Amino acid sequence: MEFRHLGRSGLEISEIAYGNWLTHGSQVEEDAALACVRAALDCGITTFDTADVYAETRAESVLGRALKGERREGLEIFTKVYWPTGPGRNDRGLSRKHILESIDGSLSRLGTDYVDLYQAHRYDYATPLEETMLAFADVVRSGKALYIGVSEWNAEQIRAGAELARELRVPLISNQPQYSMLWRVIEAEVVPASEELGLGQIVWSPIAQGVLTGKYLPGQPPPAGSRATDDKGGQDFVSRMLTDDVLTRVQQLRPLAEEAGLSLAQLAVAWVLQNPNVSAAIIGASRPEQVHENVKAAGVKLDESLLTRIDVLLDPVVNRDPALTLSPTTRP
């Protein structure tokens, strides 16, 4: 495993992180989830990402049990706040009330005294940014989180948050966006702003919800049991990429992956890690062998000619519009 600093902070994280958005407490049984976390640890992954809303808070609990007994100082545990976690009007958003109550709930479920990174899961248009950032500052000063980050904020929002963080003297160090060969909406605005401000990207869906594994074939229905057929989560994200043009071009990536000695999934993970502003790529898994397979992308350097050929091949189907940054009404 290779390690990188998260933004310009002193925190080092594994360049491949393990995330449990769609798996723990939802799509897979707990024994399988625990086996996947064990595989991640065995492969050298030290960075684990979750959120209070995943599987209606169950994902945090499963991850907490999976990491029980591990040396806490050797792990980087990340979680998030924003989405509803209860029926009340204040069980959502980035109000001071919800943030301060949510961090306690997350710590209890995770079985830890602190998280390394506490992230705003979306931008909250209904709460003054000053209120949100002050609440995050108080979470850090209380010792319940070491650093703060955001997820799917656009460049303007990141700049405003970073300015307040500087005034409050708290470490805002990261953004967690969707990013892959097919989804590059952060490149034009978010990445330059983040580089300027010292934030690193912790990217989710580097294999485009499985599309970049090549398992979806043009002109054929999605394989039974795949994410595209699972209504528990992720289906909407996959379906928008399941066009014959996209799937045909993904199949044409196979010889390029073979030339690099990689599977399609490994090529996809390695590709996002070529971006110097990316601190980590989050992988998920429902089986331990998927973890072992994907971590082989760690430390891989792709040559410029290969990157150029990938760009030429995929350019007609790549999403680049910065306005496509996820809105606060869409998950994960």
Q: Which residue numbers are catalytic?
A: 54
Distances (CA, A) of 27 to 24, 68, 121: 7, 22, 21
Nearest to 285 by CA among 83, 97, 19, 74: 19
Give the residue carrying structure tokens 């850090």: 140
Contact status, residue 46 vs residue 77, Cβ threshold 8 Å:
no
Length in residues, the chain: 332
SS3 229: helix
The DSSP code sequence of 108-140 is: HHHT-S-EEEEEESS--TTS-HHHHHHHHHHHH
- Give the CA count within 13 Å in the CB-facing half-sphere of 41: 18
Give the residue carrying structure tokens 């892959």: 180
Nearest to 109 by CA among 66, 71, 46, 142: 66
The C-alpha angle 317, 327, 78, rounded to 5 degrees, equals 100
SS3 13: strand
Strands 3-5 and 12-14: antiparallel
